[in-house]
Chain A
Amino acid sequence: AQKITQTQPGMFVQEKEAVTLDCTYDTSDPSYGLFWYKQPSSGEMIFLIYQGSYDQQNATEGRYSLNFQKARKSANLVISASQLGDSAMYFCAMRPYSGAGSYQLTFGKGTKLSVIP
Chain B
Amino acid sequence: DTGVSQNPRHKITKRGQNVTFRCDPISEHNRLYWYRQTLGQGPEFLTYFQNEAQLEKSRLLSDRFSAERPKGSFSTLEIQRTEQGDSAMYLCASSLGLAGGKNTGELFFGEGSRLTVL
Contact = CB atoms under 8 A, between A and B. Distances in A.
A95 B104 CA distance: 10
Interface stretch (B12-20, B39-47, B60-68, B70-78): B39-47
Contact of B43 (A42, A50, A103, A107): A107
Given A107-B42, A109-B40, A47 B48 contact: no
A17 B98 CA distance: 37
- Chain B interface residue count: which class? 20 to 34
Given A33-B104, A45-B91, A47-B108, A103 B56 contact: yes
A102 B106 contact: no
Given A43-B91, A43-B114, A104-B56, 14 more contacts: A33-B104, A33-B105, A35-B104, A35-B106, A43-B89, A50-B106, A52-B104, A91-B43, A103-B55, A104-B45, A104-B48, A105-B107, A110-B40, A110-B41
Interface of B: 31, 33, 40-45, 48, 50, 55-56, 89, 91, 93, 98, 104-112, 114
